[in-house]
Amino acid sequence: QEQLQESGPGLVKPSETLSLTCTVSGGSISGYYWSWIRQPPGKGLEWIGYIHYSGSTSYNPSLKSRVTISVDMSKNQFSLKMSSVTAADTAVYYCARGVGSSSVWGQGTLVTVSS
Amino acid sequence: QSVLTQPPSVSGAPGQRVTISCTGSSSNIGAAYDVHWYQQLPGTAPKLLIYGNSNRPSGVPDRFSGSKSGTSASLAITGLQAEDEADYYCQSYDSSLSGWVFGGGTKLTVL
């Protein structure tokens, strides 16, 4: 059964870069789109962006200037980088398979932006 | 302010039927983009409940159903059970924003 696992620092300082990795196990990253979604504490879901295994990407226009999503097929991983973070970027970050109708999600990882 | 509008909360007694609306516009639901629904139990990741407006993934009970008309979509839950108490989110694509959007979420309380 395919599983996704987010990993990365749980605490990031303001103005620095948030970096997360999603490791795909039990399946191949090839052939699919892969997404990042976040959820601020007590709030709703926000789509961050997606990447196709071929490397093509699409980002939320409100975050586009600060976000980069990349894929490493050799490691069966894809990654998220978000620059110039502020407290407003504090959230649980989820990785998921697919774009829209995502049927496989990671458990999520809380990233807190604080000095 | 979410692009897709959902009621903040709905409630129902066990065994009853409840519906959750998701209202969009001509740039998303009204533009014939599919609507998907997710259920998020407390402290867990969202789970795909309905895809492509009205399709259930394997394992989702037929008590859950989805529909779409014009610029709106609805999720219906019949035979309400205590374990259905969760947050529910709709999702679609928006051509004006060139991206995927979620509704603000609806908290379902089983009385």
What pLDDT does A76 receive? 95
CA pair distance A39, A110, nearest whole angstrom: 9
Query: Under an 8 A CB cutoff, do B102 and A45 touch?
Result: yes
**Facing residue for A44 by CB, picked from B34, B51, B89:** B89
Confidence of residue A100 (pLDDT cuts 50, 70, 90): confident
What pLDDT does A101 receive? 86
Confidence of residue A6 (pLDDT cuts 50, 70, 90): very high
Query: Under an 8 A CB cutoff, do A45 and B46 touch?
Result: yes
Mean pLDDT by 10 residues, chain B (111 residues): 94 97 97 96 96 96 97 98 97 92 97 94
What pLDDT does B7 receive? 98
With 90 as the cut, is the pLDDT of residue A99 above it?
Answer: no
With 90 as the cut, is the pLDDT of residue A66 above it?
Answer: yes
| Residue of B40, B47, B48, B60 to mutate when probing chain A, most A C-beta within 10 A | B48
3-state secondary structure of B51: strand
| Tokens 């990233």 sit on residue | A111
Average pLDDT, chain A: 96
User: Which two structure tokens, joined as six digits, stand for B18?
Assistant: 């409840």
Give A82: exposed, middle or buried? Use CB within 10 Å, 0-12, 13-18, 19+: buried
pLDDT tens digits, residue range A38-58? 999 999 999 999 999 999 999
Containing B36, the helix (H) or strand (E) segment is strand B36-40
CA pair distance B92, B75, nearest whole angstrom: 14
| Residue of A36, A101, A103, A107 to mutate when probing chain B, most B C-beta within 10 A | A101
What pLDDT does A3 receive? 96
What pLDDT does B28 receive? 96
User: Which two structure tokens, joined as six digits, stand for B13?
Assistant: 């007694």
Query: Under an 8 A CB cutoff, do B89 and A99 touch?
Result: no
Backbone φ and ψ for A10, nearest 5 degrees, come out as -90, -10
Query: Under an 8 A CB cutoff, do A102 and B48 touch?
Result: yes
